Structure 1
Amino acid sequence: TDIYCLGVILYELLTGRRPFRGSPTELVRLVLETEPRRPSTLLRNPDPDTQLPCDSTQAPKWAGRLRGDLDNIVLKAMHPDPQRRYHSVGELSSDIDRYFAGLPVTAAGDDLAYRAKKFATRHRTGVVAAAVVVVSLSAGLIVAQHEASVARKQKAMSEQRAAEIRRLANSLIFDLHDAIQSLPGATPIRVTLMDRATQALDSLTNTAVDDPAIQLELAAAYRRLAEVQGEPARANLGNLRASLASYRKAQSLLEGVRRRQPKDLDVARQLASADWAIGSILLNQGDKPAAREVREKALELREWASHAPPQDLDSCRDEATARQYRR
């Protein structure tokens, strides 16, 4: 059921409409007995009320990029026979990874000619891959929400599934964003990716187990997200409000971990970096008093880290940073 739901979400994201329409009774019959039209076929001949995921003039080109592997991945996830779908989120994730790498996907079968063609075009990529990332983020949202409602005996399995999706979301969204950020016309897709990333990370944070390692992982993802959204010192999407919100979420997670691990130097340094970034954005927005307060907190953390054992190169950097900004 989870795999089928992911297929439905991916179908709608790629085509702008749901795979089936009709009464509830009719929808049940269609789900159990039929396959939807291929996403690429639907885009070549869209219905009048379809909200295309791209400009209408680009629909034929978009359909061409969907034809083949992405069609097959979606249809395998939505196959009427559950035994012929992906057996786990990890299996779907693996096929997506193989698509990104230019390798044959399991959804396409074991045809020799197909594998030879994939080998010849292994290094070709396309902006359409951004749509595939969205399904991984949506998957994280679905799995995290599902995790909150399962019984105690299923808790271990749900946490493992959430961790798997979190790794998939983090690697694909940020790797893909870096790959497409310089492509013409990629900005709307980058914005969509960041919005979906925020939703997925928020859901995972709300349902995450009380584990410092997972909280640190989420904090790192929020900081990376904030850099892309509007970090003043880096190339970004110019959304300072969203960037500030993401940094504050990272700050909250790191403060929680530091209360439990007050002597952890790495946690202190990560929190200092988040505080300093928040101060930079507040300064950019003209709120000098608030910026000064949060930056002072960051410098105090740096000073503490510079004097805490072990005294190493990182400690020297902490001391140098604190001295530089206290002059």
Structure 2
Amino acid sequence: KPSNILVTGEGHPKLLDFGIAKTLDEAEWGMGEEQTATAFRAATPGYASPEQLRGEALTTATDIYSLGVVARKVLGERVKGDLAAIVGRATREEAGERYPSAAALAGDLERYLEGLPLEARQGQLRYIAAKYVKRHKAAVVAAGVAVALAVGFTGLTVVQKRQIAREQQRAEEVARFLRGLFQASDPAFNLGAIPSTRELLDRGAQRIQDEVEDEETRLALMETMAGAYSGLGLYEKSNGMYEEIAGLLEKRGQEGAGRLARVYAEMAEGAAQLGRYEEAAKWGERGVTAARSLNPADAGVEAVALEKHCLAYALATKHGEAAPLCKEAAEKSEGSGLTPREQARILRNHGIVLKDLSEYGEAEKAYRRSVALARSGGRADGPTVAVSLAELGGLYFREGKFKESTEMFGEAIALQRQLYPEGHLFTARTLNNLANTLATMRQFGEAEKIYREAHVLYRKYVGEGSGELATSLSNMAVTQQSAGRLEEAAETLRAVLEMHAQGTGKGQRPYLSTLLKYANLRVEQGRSGEAVGQAREAVGGFDRLTPVPKLEAGFGRIVLAAALIESGRPGEALEPARAGREILAAILQPTHWMRYYADVALGVALAAQGRREEGRALIEPVYDLQRNTKSTGAWRARWIEKMWRTYCG
């Protein structure tokens, strides 16, 4: 009955009363092994089947009856037409006349939603013809006028029968495919082994190739499975399948343009996730072009194509090209008919670009709107919520709100572990970012442990030579440096520089960011001469990017200033120290450690030029703070103390 059914926020129904279930402990109830709880006739009048009230043996048909009564009760006045036929068959007096299984009932409900003829009305030719006319009204009216002049309605009946035959063939192919796929998950057919989700998908993909002949059925199954591969972070697999789908749709011309636009868009994201940025740009452009060619226009399809094209550029760190695409995607998604989940994803990706452009206030608004949309209507979309929470954690990290950052990352990881028990690329990214935050909070042991967990997932999903793995390794190197393991850190960073050089190239942001970390390490190792050249190369590279990444450009100038100071050239440090401090002051909170580092570097440069009091005013507050927090074990703290004694003591 309805009061015994609870629907969760995620839309999953839960039964609260198993009154006719077989008890697990017969002794507790004084029953023999063959007895079941049906002997109690535990039932609610009005919901129990006739045979249940008569005390007869209960079968699946009993549950079908009760479910039909519940449906009539819940749907109320909406039980008419096809729904009335479904409920009527489910609640027939004789058990043998009801649906033979829950799957059969579900099948009729699916056919109702698709506008197809029902099993509940099998054999009613007039009804089947009416369903066909309703689904193909324009074609039937046009054809009917001509055919009626010649041969009456005979042609319509023939077409209708052929259509039903095709649909029945497709349904049988899908059913056969699913039976084989689910049978593969049965340990009885696998010598006791239970295959993973990945293995089931691989087997399903092969079965499509070998067994499914109807092209439309192949397309539908392949699109579903490609989306599943993508959802698991298996982008190589998904893009291979999407490419085959695109080949089939391209032959259909305008008829397949809407689906083709979405396929191109998915391929753009997949290629970008794999680090193939030129390929991603190609697919992204094709997706937008296909979406804009639709007649009539479809704002939802266009918004998705723009979003994926934006994301491809963002993953390639080309935020200048990405920003206008994401902005347009967000605008078009409003009122487009896209689901809240899709709109939430578009807003999240817009937030990513805004964050990387250091527009933190607007980025936070986009993230929070994304989370709210994904959770709207009581149907939280787990993956979208998880990624948006993780991005919000990254934003808080940028702003120096480390406690809030770890909370967001922790919540996101907990959700991702539930969603992806076998792991996922998104989980690797969130783990990496949590480790970054913990390292900044000087929890080095825990940070390195989490980095290594992330690296296992990176290797699994994007490969040994991926740019993302390289970036995470460089982050771990900074943690090793902060923990005082300088040679380990240097070795890790040299390997990462080579990975980036072979991947995105030396002039791109990933390589330059790692080079900056290496320069900072060299300053600490006392090899400041090398550090000056490396820092200059990094800063010059950042300044040539469009748009300029402000955080890296600002911090790079501070590292260059520190290297010049350590090289005995503090007079040359004034210009980069002042410029770096101004950049960081515009984007970071005053309590961020980079701001403190910048204050000391500029203070030393001023003091070295005889402006001792100006320099002291910048250095002294930072020196007092680090002394009071007893952080003298860190190299940067020791360096600050050294600068204080040299220029202010």
TM range, smaller chain: 0.3 to 0.5
Higher relative CO (Cα under 8 Å, sequence separation at least 6) belongs to 1
The structure that has the greater radius of gyration is 2
TM-score (norm 2): 0.22
